[in-house]
Structure 1
Amino acid sequence: MNHTDNPIISDIQTIEGGRTMKFYEINDPYYALIKATDKEEAEKVYIKGVAEIDDYHNFQDEEIREVERDYALIKFSQSRREDGELASYTYISENFNNPESEVLIWDGHLQ
């Protein structure tokens, strides 16, 4: 199987719904891996879903960085569910390829 035949491993970032998704990592004040259409959307998702910081927080370039799709997929596939088990292929595929902006991984200390 060619790696582009696999919907998870494909180099194409366009997912269901025709939206082009990008992936962002934020490390401070809490770690998160976020899927969003752009940096501004990633910041909003982080503020709403991870750290309820001032809505007017101006993220510096070193605080949020865009990461490659493959890097995000590897990080996401290595994350563990709340019960400590690795997520199933189906869970990874459905969530990673979902056309909605969302937090894929967040700091485990926030649970």
Structure 2
Amino acid sequence: METMNFYEVNEPYRALIKAKSKPRGMQLYTETVANDDGTLDANMKKVSSIYAAVWYSRMCLEKENQLRPIDQVIKDLSNDEEFILDYDSNLD
């Protein structure tokens, strides 16, 4: 299992990303959240797995208006899948 990293972006739109590398995280961000306005590399920082776990576990499930179950948090954060864990909901 390859080590996953977690990245936070605050500008232009806030996001939490799970990816194997920063370039891959930037690719996921531009595919899902927003285009790179030239500042994405500077605005994306690596965060700890604990930080990511707390952020992701506090996300409310939109349809159920309750916190994400802890078993789902552990599964999502510990598997080999790269994806956007959370992003600015104002983009929907």
Q: Provide TM-score, normalisation by structure 2.
A: 0.88
**Which residue number in structure 2 is paired with residue 45 of structure 1?**
28
Quote how far apart the aligned CAs of 1:57 are: 4.2
Number of equivalences: 91
Q: Is the CA contact (8 Å cut-off) linking 2:11 and 2:40 kept in structure 1?
A: no
Which structure would you say has the larger Rg? 1
User: In structure 1, what is the Cα distance between the partners aligned to 2:22 and 2:31?
Assistant: 14
Taking a change above 3 Å as real, the CA distance of residues 27 and 58 of structure 1, as seen in their structure-2 partners, is closer
CA deviations 1:8-36 (Å, max 9, x no partner) are: xxxxxxxxxx0100000011111100000
Measured in 1, the distance between the counterparts of 2:54 and 2:61 equals 15
Which structure has more helix as a fraction of its residues?
2
Residue aligned with 2:66, SS = coil
How far apart are residue 77 of structure 1 and its match?
Answer: 0.5
Structure 2 residue runs without a partner (length 5+):
none
Paired residues for 1:1-111 under 5 Å: 18-51=1-34, 53=35, 57=38, 59-61=40-42, 63-83=43-63, 84-111=65-92
Task: Normalising by structure 1, report the TM-score.
Answer: 0.74
Structure 1 residue 81: Cα displacement: 1.1
- Structure 1's unaligned 5+ residue stretches are 1-17
> Kindly, what percent of the aligned residue pairs are identical?
32
Moved over 4 A (4+): none
Q: Cα gap change, 1:28/1:58 in structure 2, threshold over 3 Å: closer, same or farther?
A: closer
| Richer in strand (by share) | 2
